[in-house]
Structure 1
Amino acid sequence: MASSASQQATQVGDSREQEEAHIKGCLRDSEALKVDGTDLFRSQKWSEALATYRAALGRLPKRVIPPPNLDPDSESDDENGERQRTEPTNDELLEPLPLSDVELELAKARAILNANIGACHVKMNEHSDAVKACTEALVDDPRYVKALQRRATSNENLSTWASLSSAQEDYQTLLKILPPDSPQIRPTKRALDSVKPRAEAAQKRETAEMLDKLKGLGNSILGNFGLSTDNFKFEPNGQGGYSMNFSK
């Protein structure tokens, strides 16, 4: 019994070492391509740099969501006295198991490549794609300053209510994680102050556009009865709501 357990432990250890050796090989291949991509980026060959960064990312193992670290007390005895694992509740789901050093290195490499891909999209004015790439980078490294900055900048360029609100959130996050003496604090505060009124204006504009569309739809239906939305007036009722009045 003890010998069998020892053999299983040895096999698990060997498998882990083989997996880490494979990851390290992938990291070396990816790093070589990343260097090529950076040379192309510095030469302002955005499309070629983008393709090379993507190739480098493709050399890395995809992100794997680690299994949750389940509370051992979630096991119970069945009618035969045998231990059975019950379905875990939210309270029984603990923090995911910590990543090994090589897994952390892998996550960092993915984050950098996705952020670099985002930088290429920014240069090509493909801001929606830049947002997606930087979001991928932030999954691996939520405190990645460059990815937060690029995503915020691209969201500002998209200029929708949702994107400007997201830019606000990223600037607020940056102010929390940047060191107090960072030279980036002041421009980040300026950017946050600048984006706030733009987000409010976009909200009003998009709300008005939505109401106009709803009004057009309502008129197309009410027109069958000789009515229009102008026949219905909404007035504040003094209690935080509205009352509707009909007039011909």
Structure 2
Amino acid sequence: MTTSNDSQNQNLTVRIQDAHDRKSDGNDHFRLSNWNEALVLYRAGLNRLPKSIETSEKVTSLPEGDEYSEQEIQVTGEQTSAVNISTSESLEPGLTAEEELELTKLRAVLHANIAACHVKLNVEGEHKESVAACTEALKNNPSYEKALQRRASSNEAINTWSSLTAAQEDYETLKTLVQSPSQKAGIESKLSSLRPRLEAAQKNETAEMIDKMKGFGNSILGRFGLSTENFKLEPNGQGGYSMNFVK
């Protein structure tokens, strides 16, 4: 006689296999440069899996089965390493901890593949979608190198002060994960090229913010025949500034 747990396990097994099949079909489309078709299939595979669950177990390798090995959005190759994956107490009924970890790895791969599709589509807003998908992958596997690489790459493409800061943080994390000297050198090269861009973005966005504040201030002060030019900030010698009125 088939029990309820047996039925649930069989149903889950079918769903996991469906997810793998959709991922495989998505990989085929990806190799043919059919980015939208691959994206639909990766999302369909993800939708076949139970919702994300958090655990404190360890697995001994990074997620595998990723869709390609092109170099343009990778900083380094990926090495096998221990990965922390966080989960909660609510395992899917009848699921072992090992099976739950396998599900977590599969979720991470599908999210990372979705991010890769957004990178390839390369139109306005797609890099933000890539960042969001990589973030979901990293929730399932915080040490997933490809997801860190893709998120950093997409944040570089977004090219704002905040996104470049986030890219810098991901490259710093990657530097602690990769093993070989050549990998570390590649990431350090990325960081070196990123620093002047980060400084420039900070200066530009700060200047824009000050200009907007001046514009707002002038709209108020103009009612009184004044402008922000009538107020000068000068160092007070104590690490702060004093505001002086100038006619």
Distance 2:90 2:177 in 1: 22
Distance 1:36 1:49 in 2: 7
Quote the residue 1:23 is aligned against: 12
Question: Could you say what secondary structure the match of 1:206 adopts?
Answer: helix
**1:237 shift after superposition:** 1.0
Aligned to 2:109, which of 98, 108, 112?
A: 112
Distance 1:20 1:28 in 2: 12
Equivalent positions of 1:39-54 (< 5 A) are 39-54=28-43
| Pair 1:236–1:133, CA change in 2 (3 A) | same
**1:25 shift after superposition:** 2.3
Quote the residue 1:177 is aligned against: 177
Quote the residue 1:62 is aligned against: 51
> Is contact 1:24-1:102 (8 Å) kept?
no
- Please, what TM-score do these two structures have when normalized by structure 2? 0.79
| Pair 1:220–1:29, CA change in 2 (3 A) | same
Equivalent positions of 1:33-44 (< 5 A) are 33-44=22-33
Equivalent positions of 1:1-248 (< 5 A) are 19-65=8-54, 96-97=88-89, 100-125=97-122, 126-179=126-179, 181=180, 183-248=182-247
Counterpart residue identity of residue 49, structure 1 = A
Distance 2:106 2:6 in 1: 20
**1:19 shift after superposition:** 4.7
Q: Quick check: 20-29 or 222-231, which moved more?
A: 20-29
**1:163 shift after superposition:** 0.3
Distance 1:101 1:156 in 2: 36
Q: 5+ unaligned residues in a row in structure 2: which ranges?
A: 56-86, 92-96
**1:64 shift after superposition:** 3.3
Q: Quick check: 150-159 or 25-34, which moved more?
A: 25-34
Q: Quick check: 33-42 or 181-190, which moved more?
A: 181-190
Question: Could you say what secondary structure the match of 2:33 adopts?
Answer: coil
**1:62 shift after superposition:** 1.3
Offset from partner CA, 1:96-146 (integer Å, 9 cap, x none): 559711111111000000000000000111111000000000000000000
Counterpart residue identity of residue 127, structure 1 = H
**1:184 shift after superposition:** 2.5
- Please, what TM-score do these two structures have when normalized by structure 1? 0.78
> Is contact 1:122-1:154 (8 Å) kept?
yes
Offset from partner CA, 1:32-72 (integer Å, 9 cap, x none): 01000000000001111111111111111111357xxxxxx
Aligned residues: CA RMSD: 1.9
**1:215 shift after superposition:** 0.3
| Pair 1:247–1:203, CA change in 2 (3 A) | same
Quote the residue 1:82 is aligned against: none
Counterpart residue identity of residue 121, structure 1 = H
**1:197 shift after superposition:** 1.6
> Is contact 1:128-1:154 (8 Å) kept?
yes
Q: Which structure is larger by alpha-carbon Rg, 1 or 2?
A: 1
Q: 5+ unaligned residues in a row in structure 1: which ranges?
A: 1-13, 67-94
- Greater helix percent: which structure? 1
Quote the residue 2:79 is aligned against: none
Counterpart residue identity of residue 214, structure 2 = K
Question: Could you say what secondary structure the match of 1:156 adopts?
Answer: helix
**1:194 shift after superposition:** 1.0
Question: Could you say what secondary structure the match of 1:184 adopts?
Answer: helix
Aligned-pair identity (%): 56
Question: Could you say what secondary structure the match of 2:191 adopts?
Answer: helix
